Amino acid sequence: MTGAASVMPASVVSLPAGTQLKPATAANSNAAAASTGVGSALTETDFLTLLTTQLKHQDPLNPQSPSDLAAELAQFSTASGVQTLNTAVNSGSGMQAASLVGKNVAVAGNTMVLGANGAPAAFNLSSAAKDVVVTIANSSGSIVGAIDLGAMAAGNQTFAWNGQTADGTTLPPGNYFYAVNAAAASSGGTVTATPYAVVPVTSVVFGGQSGPMLDLGGGLAPIALSSVKEVF
């Protein structure tokens, strides 16, 4: 009995020798990935290219759903915002600013923020003083307290007010103001004293033209990181 010969269907075209696809190998896959960028993180440009191509080749009779498109744009916006925030936080100044949250910093000004633990403050003496007296006033300008700090050396100095008047009355929390009167050690003149407000850093705002901005307690205006005189 003679077997029927196998006949290739007319619709099938055999590939000529030498044109068959090569078997996939790890080396080939890695080379292809490197040349196309597959496996690497997508950039904003990559995302926009993909989105533009998607819109260009969508079916006119079955266009991209508006809700799906809005979701993609929202994901892109979120990813872009997170990337920008990460860049700001991970920069040298960003890390330094973030580390100050919850700490007290000395900034220009003569405000004292009275809280449960008193009111810290600081100042700089241009030279040594034989006697330093600090007077404290309320928001109306009335003197409510005074502290005699005695002799002090030149440079940055700190002190704290317990929030009490001369007769022992405890004043309510809030903002007060102080002035420093320093007598020179070598003459009868005065020593220049530059006051600093010592306030807590409550949060950090990134993205400003001046770099990270520090939000301060006591209602003080935000300041740039470069404006910090000292950290406590």
**Residue 118 belongs to a domain with what CATH number?**
2.60.40.4070
Contacts of 149 (CB under 8 A, 6+ apart): 132, 133, 134, 157, 159
Quick check: is 157 in a domain?
yes
Quick check: is 227 in a domain?
no
- Judge contact between 145 and 165, C-beta under 8 A: yes
Quick check: is 90 in a domain?
no
Q: How far apart are CA 41 and CA 88, in angstroms?
A: 19
- pLDDT tens across 177-226, in order? 999 999 998 777 999 999 999 999 999 887 667 678 899 999 999 999 88
pLDDT at 75: 58
Quick check: is 27 in a domain?
no
- State which residues of the chain have pLDDT below 70: 1-48, 50-93, 207-208, 210
Quick check: is 166 in a domain?
yes
pLDDT at 196: 97
Q: β-pairing, 155-161 with 174-184?
A: unpaired
Quick check: is 75 in a domain?
no
Q: How far apart are CA 183 and CA 193, in angstroms?
A: 10
pLDDT at 96: 79
Q: How far apart are CA 47 and CA 33, in angstroms?
A: 17
pLDDT at 10: 46
Contacts of 211 (CB under 8 A, 6+ apart): 93, 97, 224, 225, 226
Residue 126 dihedral angles phi and psi, to the nearest 5°: -70, -25
Quick check: is 216 in a domain?
no
Q: How far apart are CA 150 and CA 219, in angstroms?
A: 31
Nearest to 226 by CA among 83, 84, 100: 100
Instruction: Please give the helix or strand (H or E) that residue 160 lies within, else none.
Output: strand 155-161
| Structural domain boundaries enclosing 167 | 108-198
Quick check: is 128 in a domain?
yes
Domain count, the chain: 1
